Structure 1
Amino acid sequence: MLLNTNGSSTSAWMATASVPEYPPLQADAAADVCVIGAGIAGLTSAYLLAREGRKVILIDAYGVGAGETGRTTAHFFPPDEWYAGLEESFGANAARLVADSYAAATSLVESIVAKEGIDCEFERIDGFLYALPGNGFKDFEKERDAALRAGVKAELLPRVPGLGFDTGFCVRYPGQAQFHPLKYLARLANAVVRMGGAIHGGTLAHDIRGSGTTQLVMTSRGTIGAEAVVVATNTPFNHRVVMHTKQAGYRTYVVALRVPKGAVPRILLWDTGDPYYYVRLATLGADSTHELLIVGGADHKVGQDSHPEHRYDEIERWVRVHFPMAQEVAYRWSGEVMEPNDRMAYLGRDPTAGRNRYLITGDSGNGMTHCTAGAMLVTDLIAGRANPWQAIYDPGRKGVHGIRDFVAEQANIMTQYGDWFTGGEVESAAAIAPGEGAIVREGMHKLAMYRDAAGDLHALSATCTHLGCVVHWNSAERSWDCPCHGSRFDVEGRVLHGPAARALERVEREAGGSVPGGAGQGPAQERRPPPG
């Protein structure tokens, strides 16, 4: 099973895959391209660049698939904005370009699976968009017509076939896809190394410097010099502000239940409600009589629900109403997605760093597709080739289509800074139960305090090292999450998710519980992979 480094929950993919481990960087190094992040965005970029003969070094703070790729539902489906929304916001030509990028990304994964002989349960299946009565967008004829204008195969049906409940009208998109993401990444990593690339786990990048033709990636293990750098860390850690005003981090929740094999059609299913739910099936190891029904949804802003376990319960209740054949829950997990204000991913040149630094971010609910398309686009840019998707996904584009969301998100962020003027969540650390965390105010200081199973307290500064918001406890993942820009930290303060690049400060408390002079012990060290 994959080492769980991003929270306390375990996804179905983490429980059923073995991924290779790679040693940390041992000394300063040089490459044509340094890729930061060993999820699908980074590994696909490394694979495509190595295939073109470039010397690639890929680094990750933890290891292959240890970030958000291992927490996805791993589907390839039309964009969250739908083709009608894309056409309305960006125009028919942009909708066609998005459709082309989605089709090309899915076909690339399919071709890599075939070329590398990857057993990752890749499967082409139909996808369906629907709305239950009284809940959500219903102009499916408009969506069908926009999809057809974008060059996407689509048809309007009176209901989704094969389900035990009446969905009402729906749009069918044939030829979508799904797979097992960590089985795919494991073999992709092997292929990168076989082609001469180097992969290093346990290597945290904390800064990028340089200009012109030379970039320097500063890591916990040494400096990497490269002609180009690809930042594929879900959200860029090397930006203080620019990209973090353009997108927001959301937690999304997944419940996987056992169902009798054949009881649910093998389709992708997405509704338009609020809350919305997305559904797929997966194999269940060697069990030939059952499958996993995987259902996700119940999203919220990162750090803005301290006890989100109820969201699993809400998803399960919805499942049992609509899929009464569902049996016991096998897995529950959550992940983080980055939602762009204008609903279009950010793939391409870093707008703040010249021509040889690149970003893959803004995955929205289509991380597998966007990350693959981003790797294709970035590879073309590094090679000096034109790419037809460059303008629509440009990270430096003006957010003229997302002004309302931009204003709402900035207002939400400013509200979070008000936490500095409130008291603690509990009066003292004595009120914190084993296995729980809470914010405690001690004088002028706010502390993020966690009590472990043995009863020992772990005290950290509650100040996020990105832009100074007060972190909040996440009891579902046992982590400290920033409600402003989506950074996450473990109970020892180590970074789990950016944009923060530095750990929370550890705080030494005196016997009476006070903070001596407000001084901490400095940031916690990054997590090291286990020996061997």
Structure 2
Amino acid sequence: MPASTNGASISVWLDTADLPSYPPLPGEFDTEVCIIGAGIAGLTTAYLLAREGRSVAVIDALGIGAGETGRTTAHLFPPDEWYATIEDKFGAGNARLVADGHARAITLVESIAAEENIDCAFERVDGYLYTLPGDGLRDLEKEYNSAKRAGVAVELLPDVPGLPFDSGPAVRYMRQAQFHPLKYLAGLARAIERLGGSIFGATHAHRVRGDQQQQTVTTDRGDIRARAVVLATHTPFNDRVVMHTKQAGYRTYVVGLQVPRGALPRILLWDTGDPYYYVRLESPEGADHDILVVGGADHKTGQDDHPEHRYDEIERWARAHFPQAQAVAYRWSGEVMEPSDGLPYLGRNPMDDDNVYLITGDSGNGMTHCTIGAMLITDLIGGRENPWQALYDPSRKPVHGLADFASEQANTLARYGEWLTGGDVDSVQEIAAGEGAVVRDGLRKIAVYRDAQGGLHAVSAKCSHLGCAVHWNSAERSWDCPCHASRFDIEGKVLHGPAPEPLEKIELQDGDPPPRSPRAGMRGRNAR
């Protein structure tokens, strides 16, 4: 298990994986490539580079798989943007490139698992997209034809076989895949060490600076000097504005329900809703049951303070469609970065020299897109051309998603108006144990959490990225930014970027402030 995770909930993967832990960076360090982030993006990149004989060092603030890889549903499946939409936006040629990348990414995961003898339950399964009642067949026919033109092995079927409900028409995508993502990461980490790579945990990167000859990564444990840097942190922290206007963070929710072993077909399943539900099976080793993994109910990060109802909505949907569902075994949530035009950002960072690289904008296909990003960046660092380079270039303009781009920017700008409003409560005395709330203190706002013993944990509500006011997330017991999706724990520590620094700590003295006078007894103290 990782020493810490980026939320209070525990996924089936975190519960069933034995992950290695690594010591912090011991001090100043030199390497050819520094990779920031020890999820599937970072470790796959490190593995591919180390396999080519390059020296690599991976750092992570939390630990292997403690970020979004440990919170995925681990589908390896077609883009949730659909091939029809990609063809409309980017053309048939680029749709073929997308299909090629997805197929090669799945094959790479399969081959690495085999070559490195990684017991990660990798399994080829078919994926099915089915239409909701009233949506009609036309969209599915269009998707089928676009996917076929892109070179994908597909069928158009009257329904999804083997389900306990009538799905209606569906597109079958053959030979997709699923796996246990954290067992896969554990195997990657062992292979990286065997190939001479270094991995450091509990090491938080604050800054990347340099030139075409050398980049320096400043961490809380010392500087790392490298010829190239890969930011595999789900969303980059080194750029304060540009990349964060082109993508938005969404929370997505997952419920794992026990079902009798073998009662349901081993497939990937998703529907045409917005947001859609997505389904797969997991078979825990040694258990007499399967886990029906159902996800959905997405919303913008920081824009639902009490999202527990979303778990209830997913559970109701699952039980209505799968009467075999028994007890709820897991509930967890994760973060999805939605790019404005639907495709991820993989390649050179547009704001730096040619030796800083990004893997971000997963759009709900993190396991696949991160693997594609690792393959692409390995080629770029090796000086090789890559057929996907222009398509996924992070410097591209959002010309294919202008409406979504404008809508997201309007949503973000509106959130800054919250600095003119009051707090969630008038006094910290109104905050129950195990809950958090924002309290106004004169011209500022303070984010306060009360622990089970009644102790108060207070930090500035001002996000350290671009100053939006954070919101309480009661499901994960975190402070989430509704503007650019940064997240912080109850002590203000960064759980998810782009925030580069923790929230400023606030010291509460002489007990709680009196009701309706939260300013009394408070003074600021910079925790950094």
TM-score band w.r.t. shorter chain: over 0.9
The alpha-carbon deviation at position 136 of structure 1 amounts to 8.0
The alpha-carbon deviation at position 27 of structure 1 amounts to 1.0
**What is residue 276 of structure 1 aligned with on the other side?**
276
**Alignment partner of 1:523 is 2:527:** yes
Question: Do 1:445 and 1:518's aligned partners in 2 also have CA atoms closer than 8 Å?
Answer: no
**What is residue 48 of structure 2 aligned with on the other side?**
48
Q: Look up the equivalent residue of 1:314 and give its one-letter code.
A: E
**What is residue 292 of structure 2 aligned with on the other side?**
293
Question: Do 1:493 and 1:523's aligned partners in 2 also have CA atoms closer than 8 Å?
Answer: no
Question: Do 2:480 and 2:486's aligned partners in 1 also have CA atoms closer than 8 Å?
Answer: yes
**What is residue 418 of structure 1 aligned with on the other side?**
417
Separation of aligned partners in 1, 2:379 and 2:523: 49
The alpha-carbon deviation at position 520 of structure 1 amounts to 2.1
**What is residue 379 of structure 1 aligned with on the other side?**
378
The alpha-carbon deviation at position 522 of structure 1 amounts to 1.4
Separation of aligned partners in 2, 1:523 and 1:497: 18
Matching of residues 375-454 of structure 1 within 5 Å: 375-454=374-453
The alpha-carbon deviation at position 517 of structure 1 amounts to 10
Separation of aligned partners in 2, 1:507 and 1:516: 13
The alpha-carbon deviation at position 98 of structure 1 amounts to 0.4
**What is residue 361 of structure 1 aligned with on the other side?**
360
**What is residue 527 of structure 1 aligned with on the other side?**
none
Separation of aligned partners in 2, 1:339 and 1:17: 28
The alpha-carbon deviation at position 265 of structure 1 amounts to 0.4
The alpha-carbon deviation at position 178 of structure 1 amounts to 0.2
Separation of aligned partners in 2, 1:224 and 1:517: 42
The alpha-carbon deviation at position 516 of structure 1 amounts to 7.6
Question: Relative to structure 1, is the Cα distance of residues 229 and 431 closer, same or farther in structure 2, using a 3 angstrom cutoff?
Answer: same
Separation of aligned partners in 2, 1:345 and 1:282: 27
The alpha-carbon deviation at position 284 of structure 1 amounts to 2.1
Q: Secondary structure at the match of 1:121?
A: coil
Matching of residues 471-482 of structure 1 within 5 Å: 471-482=470-481
Question: Relative to structure 1, is the Cα distance of residues 224 and 398 closer, same or farther in structure 2, using a 3 angstrom cutoff?
Answer: same
Residues 349-375 of structure 1: per-residue CA shift (max 9 Å, x gap) = 000102100000000110000000000
Separation of aligned partners in 1, 2:138 and 2:247: 27
**Alignment partner of 1:456 is 2:469:** no
**What is residue 316 of structure 1 aligned with on the other side?**
315
Q: Look up the equivalent residue of 1:376 and give its one-letter code.
A: M
Residues 148-187 of structure 1: per-residue CA shift (max 9 Å, x gap) = 1101000100000001111111000010000000000001
Question: Do 1:505 and 1:521's aligned partners in 2 also have CA atoms closer than 8 Å?
Answer: yes
Question: Relative to structure 1, is the Cα distance of residues 28 and 456 closer, same or farther in structure 2, using a 3 angstrom cutoff?
Answer: same
Q: Look up the equivalent residue of 1:153 and give its one-letter code.
A: A
Matching of residues 96-245 of structure 1 within 5 Å: 96-135=96-135, 138-245=138-245
Q: Look up the equivalent residue of 1:303 and give its one-letter code.
A: G
Separation of aligned partners in 2, 1:395 and 1:137: 35
Question: Do 2:509 and 2:522's aligned partners in 1 also have CA atoms closer than 8 Å?
Answer: no
Separation of aligned partners in 1, 2:35 and 2:489: 24
**What is residue 304 of structure 1 aligned with on the other side?**
303
Question: Do 2:508 and 2:523's aligned partners in 1 also have CA atoms closer than 8 Å?
Answer: no
- Where in structure 2 are there 5+ consecutive unaligned residues? none
Question: Relative to structure 1, is the Cα distance of residues 65 and 50 closer, same or farther in structure 2, using a 3 angstrom cutoff?
Answer: same
Question: Do 1:509 and 1:516's aligned partners in 2 also have CA atoms closer than 8 Å?
Answer: no
Question: Do 1:303 and 1:473's aligned partners in 2 also have CA atoms closer than 8 Å?
Answer: yes
Residues 79-129 of structure 1: per-residue CA shift (max 9 Å, x gap) = 011110000000000100000000110000000000000000000000000
Q: Look up the equivalent residue of 2:425 and give its one-letter code.
A: V
Identity %: 67
**Alignment partner of 1:13 is 2:17:** no
The alpha-carbon deviation at position 212 of structure 1 amounts to 1.6
Residues 444-482 of structure 1: per-residue CA shift (max 9 Å, x gap) = 120000000000111110000000000000000000000
Q: Secondary structure at the match of 2:525?
A: strand
The alpha-carbon deviation at position 135 of structure 1 amounts to 4.9
**What is residue 258 of structure 1 aligned with on the other side?**
258
**What is residue 507 of structure 2 aligned with on the other side?**
508
Question: Relative to structure 1, is the Cα distance of residues 492 and 59 closer, same or farther in structure 2, using a 3 angstrom cutoff?
Answer: same
Question: Relative to structure 1, is the Cα distance of residues 201 and 2 closer, same or farther in structure 2, using a 3 angstrom cutoff?
Answer: closer
The alpha-carbon deviation at position 134 of structure 1 amounts to 2.2
Q: Secondary structure at the match of 1:95?
A: helix
Q: Secondary structure at the match of 2:440?
A: strand
**What is residue 330 of structure 2 aligned with on the other side?**
331
Q: Look up the equivalent residue of 2:407 and give its one-letter code.
A: A
Residues 484-514 of structure 1: per-residue CA shift (max 9 Å, x gap) = 0000000000000000010001112343635
Separation of aligned partners in 2, 1:200 and 1:503: 20
Q: Secondary structure at the match of 2:372?
A: helix
Separation of aligned partners in 2, 1:489 and 1:82: 33
Residues 420-452 of structure 1: per-residue CA shift (max 9 Å, x gap) = 000011110000000000010121120000000
TM-score by length of 1: 0.97
Separation of aligned partners in 1, 2:407 and 2:233: 25
The alpha-carbon deviation at position 263 of structure 1 amounts to 1.2
Q: Look up the equivalent residue of 1:215 and give its one-letter code.
A: Q
**Alignment partner of 1:349 is 2:353:** no
Q: Secondary structure at the match of 1:437?
A: strand
Q: Look up the equivalent residue of 1:373 and give its one-letter code.
A: I
TM-score by length of 2: 0.97
Question: Do 2:96 and 2:149's aligned partners in 1 also have CA atoms closer than 8 Å?
Answer: yes
Q: Secondary structure at the match of 1:99?
A: helix
Question: Do 2:3 and 2:62's aligned partners in 1 also have CA atoms closer than 8 Å?
Answer: no
Separation of aligned partners in 2, 1:275 and 1:43: 30
Q: Secondary structure at the match of 2:313?
A: helix
- Where in structure 1 are there 5+ consecutive unaligned residues? 525-532
Question: Do 2:11 and 2:70's aligned partners in 1 also have CA atoms closer than 8 Å?
Answer: yes
Question: Relative to structure 1, is the Cα distance of residues 481 and 137 closer, same or farther in structure 2, using a 3 angstrom cutoff?
Answer: farther
